[in-house]
């Protein structure tokens, strides 16, 4: 869980059991980054801007 303006980090397992990680700031418009392993074992990284609703369902 995260509070507004506090850094947070969520980690878990991808579809093939590869580690995945989501990190960023729980404020609207703050940068976020998603990194881990794709379904075929290829590394991927996505970064950009999101609202709280997108970051924290």
Per-residue pLDDT of the chain (57 residues; tens, 9 = 90+): 445 566 655 554 444 555 555 555 555 555 666 555 555 555 555 555 555 555 555
Predicted TM-score (pTM) of this structure:
0.20
Contact 10, 21 (CB under 8 A): yes
Q: Shortest CA distance to 41 belongs to which of 23, 22, 19?
A: 19
- CA 54/CA 46 separation, integer angstroms: 14
Predicted confidence (pLDDT) per residue in 43-56, tens digit: 555 555 555 555 55
Count CB-CB contacts under 10 A for residue 1: 7
What is the DSSP code (8-state) at residue 17?
A: S
Q: What is the structure's pLDDT at 33?
A: 60
55 three-state secondary structure: helix
């Amino acid at each position: 869980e995260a509070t507004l303006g506090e850094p947070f980090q969520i980690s878990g397992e991808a579809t093939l059991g590869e580690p995945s990680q989501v990190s960023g700031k729980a404020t609207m418009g703050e940068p976020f980054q998603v990194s881990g392993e794709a379904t075929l074992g290829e590394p991927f990284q996505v970064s950009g801007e999101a609202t709280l609703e997108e970051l924290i369902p």
